[in-house]
Structure 1
Amino acid sequence: MTPNENPQSPGNPQQLSLNDQMKRRLDERLHLAESGVNPYPCHFDVTHFSDSILTDFQDDANETVSVAGRIMTIRKMGKASFFHLQDANGRIQIYLKKDDVGESSYQTFKLLDIGDIVGVKGYTFKTKTGEISVHAQEFSLLSKSLRPIPIAKEKEIDGQKVVYDAFSDKELRYRQRYVDLIVNPDVRQTFIKRSAIVSFMRGFFTGQGWLEVETPILQPIYGGAAARPFTTHHNALDMQLYLRIANELYLKRLIVGGFDGVFEFAKDFRNEGIDRFHNPEFTQVELYVAYKDYEWMMKLVEELFYQTACAVNNSDSVVFLGNDISLKPPFRRLTITDSIKEYCGIDITDKDEHELRYMARDLGLELDPKISSGKIIDEIFGEFVEPKLIQPTFITDYPVEMSPLAKEHRSKPGFVERFELIAGGKELCNSFSELNDPVIQRERLEAQAKLRQRGDEEAMIVDEDFLRALEYGMPPCAGLGVGVDRMVMLLTGQDSIRDVIFFPHLKPE
């Protein structure tokens, strides 16, 4: 409805782009308003949902119910009609008889269409064909739909049921998620399961006694990951701010402050490309636990994924991109150097930037001349190893150049105590034994600053306040970041991040 429209008045149809069906619906809306029917009343009391009616139905009960939802099929007849009402939980058939609801209400019904939202009060019964239904005694229009919704049609051809005119165009479904949710009920189930996954993870963490916290989204210095940020400006302070790319450095400040375990479900933002696994706005949960290391965190991650899968899927295995994936611990462990040796046939141990660049070139990789040795290794791994890791695998012990915030490995000089969990050919989480030596951390960040001077826009910035916090002393600590969207993709079997985000970012129409 446009801002100046009144439900009882015709409004201003010229403001809408009309086709014939919309013109007819606008005429119906006008006719309803002129006959004293408000097409958009304020409320309706709902007592039951479709699924509970179908589940709890008893032949001799004739239970009184009040339901509301959208008309999805409709058969208008002389003095009696049928339609299917879709609510949040499913569909139920409604039987409407003029003698029961009255002449006025039945005439209102004659002006309704598929897509209109209605309320029905009546009693349950079973039709002669055996379909559990609601016999309407009262009927109310709750919202007149001015745009026709795309309803798939079925036709039997050579004994086979063929569906056509389905709302199946991927990009249109992403752009008009509200229509997608109406006409494709399976989509709802993905997002219901997403909510269950997040809820279980939250309970898993709080059950350990760890505190859920909130940290700034607008940050004066961005950090905690290798990524380019979105920038904005605060007028009152006259300063540039960044949408966070990670919340790591703020959560570590809380460990310094005396909390032994903190976590946050965070919206993060990275100004990077868009593909099946990347959206510029995404969700991750980060966890930091004092006095633990990355070996301990690996066991926790195994339990987190295993228990979450069992809780939401009633199974410790999933099917993802056509692969049967088992989430039952223990997961395979493989160092990053061994993984590259296994899948590429080259040994990157002790190789300098010049040698790594030649190795990458021999593998067919075209590299930006500005990137460092750590980025070269990352490119080799991402192109030739990661897609082949289908079963859950911990990739461990990264070169120090790749991980400026991780503690140096206690027995492997030049490496750090870090792991990534890969499953289904994609990284799902990242973890360190966190670096807590402020002197070494400053050296690492200053080295990153030099990479920025070389042109690496994703290199980290020296954060003096974070370094000051470390100088007060941070206990040994294990940190973890889990990509919630990717975890949901895995557990729901969706092959694109856009299928697990209600409103993904797209190019302008």
Structure 2
Amino acid sequence: MIMTENWQPTASIDLLLKRAKLLKKIRDFFADRCVLEVETPILSHAAVTDLHLSSFETIFNKPGKNDPQAGQKLALITSPEYHMKRLIAAGSGPIYQICKCFRNHEEIGRYHNPEFTMLEWYRIQFDMMQIINEVDDLFQLILDSEPAEHLSYQSAFIKYLNIDPLTANRDEFVNAIKKLALNFDTDGADINTLQQFLFTFGIEPYIGKDKPTVVYHFPASQAALAEICSEDQRTAKRFEFYYQGVELANGFKELVNAKEQRIRFEQDNQERAARGFPPQVIDEYLLSAMNAGLPECSGVAVGLDRLIMLALKQTTISQVMSFNLENA
């Protein structure tokens, strides 16, 4: 038998007690606002098509059938979004969830662990700014922070990189990256990749230092499941919160059109094929729910381990998790 000394939790018991108190505080926040707590599956028949996310897969072998080829392929969720939207379409009203999520091909470090805790919620008939304000209310409560600074994606690029991301061509993005003097091979990179690199290394380090910052109206090409802005179709109703160098939340005014959502899923799979990635099964349950009638809503996902890390003034998420992957 192999014995190891690495059996202790990565978080101290004192910090785990404080984590539990914060979780209660979060649940009280939603109870006061009449938002229902729900639970949805961790295993799913369909994985996400997003190029930047990779799911863990497993095989369910029914009793008496030991042939892996005959088993049913399932995925561990990267987010509870699809199941929660099905609940909303069924008439649940506003809902939230605290659950485990899983992302493969993720680094293990200060802010990442392949298994992590997500706080996700959806508000019926909320526009993007309403849910941004609610996220801000929660963060002020948990982090004891000042109200968030608001900054559009376009204005952030102009302020920190002196470039307009909605009008710049590829050469302008490449030149902006060269000015950062970072080792990044731009050959073959598309505009989205260049934009995301610039945002990560040219903007994120400078925002949200003293108080949270919300960046909103991301490019439509990075819309994922967000609604396109009617007033400027180059942008989408997507936002992200940052604080003290950490990305904390990603949210949308949700796309509710099933036909448009199918087109985006299919485009994702086409892009996956072009990059040599395997295509993902499209979630027909979600599309059927949307087709039946997904009400106008906004939603947001918060990395709960990161939020608690900042609230408890720690430097890594492992310090507020019972066990990280390395000693799970």
Give the TM bin, normalised by the shorter chain: 0.7 to 0.9
Return the alpha-carbon distance in structure 2 between the equivalents of residues 229 and 367 of structure 1: 27
Q: Does residue 1:379 correspond to 2:205, yes or no?
A: no
**1:306 paired residue among 136, 140, 155:** 140
The reply to whether residue 504 of structure 1 matches residue 321 of structure 2 is no
Which residue is 1:230 aligned to? 56
CA distance in 2, matches of 1:413, 1:277: 33
Would the alpha carbon gap of residues 194 and 202 (structure 1) be closer, same or farther in structure 2, given more than 3 Å must change? same
Cα offsets for 1:11-65 (capped at 9, x unmatched)? xxxx798xxxxxxxxxxxxxxxxxxxxxxxxxxxxxxxxxxxxxxxxxxxxxxxx
Give the 3 Å change call, closer, same or farther, for CA 298–393 of structure 1 in structure 2: same
SS in 2 for 1:274: coil
Q: Which residue number in structure 1 is paired with residue 27 of structure 2? A: 202
Q: Which residue of 181, 193, 218 corresponds with 2:18?
A: 193
Say whether the 8 Å CA contact 1:224–1:245 is kept in structure 2.
no
Change in 2 beyond 3 A, CA 1:398/1:374? same
More strand as a share of residues: 1
Going from structure 1 to structure 2, the CA distance change for 1:412 and 1:260 (only over 3 Å counts) comes to same
Following the alignment from structure 2 to structure 1, what is the Cα–Cα distance between the partners of residues 186 and 282? 24
TM-score, normalization by structure 1: 0.58
Consecutive unaligned residues of structure 1, counting only runs of 5 or more, are 1-14, 18-146, 148-171, 182-186, 310-315, 317-326
- Alpha-carbon distance, 1:396 to partner: 0.6
Aligned length: 316
Mapped partners of 1:242, 1:487: distance in 2 = 26
Given that 2:49 and 2:268 are in contact with CA atoms closer than 8 Å, whether structure 1 keeps it comes out as no
Identity across aligned pairs (percent)? 29
- Correspondence for 1:341: 158
35, 39, 56: which one aligns with 1:214: 39
- State how far apart, in whole Å, the 2-side matches of 1:249 and 1:431 are: 14
Deviation, structure 1 residue 408: 0.6
Q: Show the counterpart of 1:464.
A: 284
Return closer, same or farther for 1:457/1:228 CA change in 2, 3 Å cut-off: farther
Q: Residue by residue, what CA displacement relative to the aligned partner does 1:264-284 show, whole Å, maximum 9, x if unpaired?
A: 111001111111110110001
Alignment-mate amino acid for residue 198 of structure 1: L
Counterpart check, 1:388 vs 2:206: yes
Alignment partner of 1:409 out of 223, 229, 236: 229
Q: What is the TM-score when the length of structure 2 is the normalising length?
A: 0.88
Deviations 1:226-261 (A, max 9, x none): 411111111127121111111111111111111111
- Does the CA-based 8 Å contact 1:371-1:456 persist in structure 2? no
SS of the equivalent of 2:293 reads coil
Letter in 2 for 1:296: Q
Separation in structure 2 between the aligned mates of residue 196 and residue 344 of structure 1, nearest angstrom: 41
Equivalent residues in 2 for 1:250-265, closer than 5 Å = 250-265=83-98
> Residues of 2 paired with 1:458 and 1:430: CA distance?
25
Distance 1:224 1:207, change over 3 A: farther
> In the aligned structure 2, how far is the partner of 1:255 from the partner of 1:492?
33
Show CA shifts across 1:298-350 (max 9, x none): 111111111234xxxxxx2xxxxxxxxxx122x11111222122222322223
Partner AA of 2:120 in structure 1: E
Taking structure 1 as reference, are residues 456 and 265 closer, same or farther at Cα in structure 2, changes over 3 Å only?
farther
- Equivalent position to 2:115, from 268, 278, 281: 281
- Distance in 1 separating the partners of 2:262 and 2:37: 28
Would the aligned equivalents of 1:228 and 1:457 in 2 still touch at CA under 8 Å?
no
Alignment of 1:134-149 (within 5 A): none
Q: Residue in 2 aligned with 1:436?
A: 256
Contact 1:445 1:461 in 2 (8 A): no
CA–CA separation in structure 2 for the residues paired with 1:428 and 1:458: 29
Q: Does the 8 Å CA contact 2:273/2:279 hold for their aligned counterparts?
A: no
Distance in 1, matches of 2:24 and 2:292, equals: 35
The root-mean-square deviation of aligned C-alpha atoms, in Å, is 2.6
SS in 2 for 1:432: strand
Counterpart Cα distance in 2 of 1:460 and 1:416: 24
Cα separation, 2, equivalents of 1:232 and 1:369: 36
What is the distance in 1 between the residues matched to 2:224 and 2:56?
A: 22
The residue type equivalent to 1:177 in the other structure is: Q
Task: Note closer, same or farther for the CA distance 1:206–1:403 as it changes in structure 2 (3 Å cut).
Answer: same
Distance of aligned partners of 1:429 and 1:16 in 2 relative to their CA distance in 1, 3 Å threshold = closer
Higher helix share: 2
Q: CA deviation at 1:176?
A: 3.5
- 1:385 is paired with a residue whose SS is helix
Q: Deviations over 1:435-459 (max 9, x none)?
A: 0011221222222111101227599
| CA distance in 1: counterparts of 2:78 and 2:220, whole angstroms | 21
Would the alpha carbon gap of residues 340 and 258 (structure 1) be closer, same or farther in structure 2, given more than 3 Å must change?
A: same
In structure 1, how many angstroms separate the alpha carbons of the residues matched to 2:34 and 2:130?
Answer: 16
Give the Cα separation in 2 of the matches to 1:200 and 1:346.
41
